[in-house]
Amino acid sequence: MFEQVRIVLINTSHPGNIGAVARALKNMGFSRLYLVAPESFPDPIAESRASGATDILDKAIVVSSLDEAIAGCRLVVGASARGRKIPWPVVNPRDLAREVHSLTQDDSEVAILFGREARGLTNEELHRCNLHVHIPSNPDFSSLNLAMAVQVVTYELRMKYLESLENEAGDSNMKAMLSPQDSGWDVEPASVDEVEMFLEHLERTLIDIDFHDPEHPRQLMARLRRLYQRCCLDKMELNILRGILRSTQKVAGTWGAQSPGSQ
């Protein structure tokens, strides 16, 4: 599990927090840190706050977009201090640990996203997630320091791992959804980037057939995104859906060079 979980920090403002996250990760046995457009990195302040965890900083992968940070992942989780406009599947860190533990029994990878100190994750970023994790803090003062939030989440992951060593395999009610191969599924699950390409294609097609007006989006794509990200599409199901969109565009006379995946 430790090698299959990426901690992704988005647009972090304070290098000290990046260092403190590196320390928290190493304490809990994790090492894969992704930094999406950090304001200042590398930075001596990050080094000093990392204490003995500078190796985690040296190995950190700096990218410019969220897509690069989550490419190839099976599950993307967003850590959020507060509820948002459209409710999304949300778990606490302990339940998340159970899901991550069961999902990483094969070689699936998981990304856990943490937001900006001042503003957290944007709605768009949260909508890219299959699941949200919320640390059930004081509702009147819910926002933890970034590194402390990482600490709590990774602590629960570690606890779950230690528990599993004692052979207490937790029963997971989302196991069939998140790990269909464990329940004898016949087709490999689709990755998040494949689902993302499908959602782009879906949006394009819905515009083509005048179902969706991007000028008045009214949360349509967020709701469809939530639906498709919830049901754990496999590669075959995804191909069928893409085929339906292609045929729809052909009938509408809009299938062509600009259609996603038409090349």
Residues that bind ligand SAH (CB under 6 A): 79-82, 114-115, 117-121, 133-135, 137, 142-144, 146, 149
Residue 201 Cβ vs ligand SAH, minimum distance, rounded to whole Å: 30
91 φ, ψ to 5°? Answer: -130, 165
d(CA 114, CA 111): 10
In whole angstroms, what is the distance from residue 83 CA to residue 90 CA?
Answer: 9
Nearer to ligand SAH (CB atom), residue 135 or residue 197? 135
Gap between the terminal Cα atoms of the chain: 37
In this complex, which beta carbon is closest to ligand SAH, that of residue 122 or of residue 172? 122
CB of 39 to ligand SAH, least distance (A): 14
Q: Is the CB of residue 57 less than 8 Å from the CB of residue 50? A: yes
Q: According to the 3-state scheme, what is the secondary structure of the chain?
A: CCCCEEEEEECCCCHHHHHHHHHHHHHHCCCCEEEECCCCCCCHHHHHHCCCCHHHHHHCEEECCHHHHHCCCCEEEEECCCCCCCCCCEECHHHHHHHHHHHCCCCCCEEEEECECCCECCHHHHHCCCEEECCCCCCCCCCCCHHHHHHHHHHHHHHHHHHHHCCCCCCCCCHHHHCHHHHCCCCCECCHHHHHHHHHHHHHHHHHCCCCCCCCCCCHHHHHHHHHHHCCCEHHHHHHHHHHHHHHHHHHCCCCCCCCCCC
Nearest approach, Cβ of 157 to ligand SAH (angstroms)? 14
Of 34 and 228, the one with the shorter C-beta distance to ligand SAH is: 34
Residue 147 C-beta: closest distance to ligand SAH, Å = 9
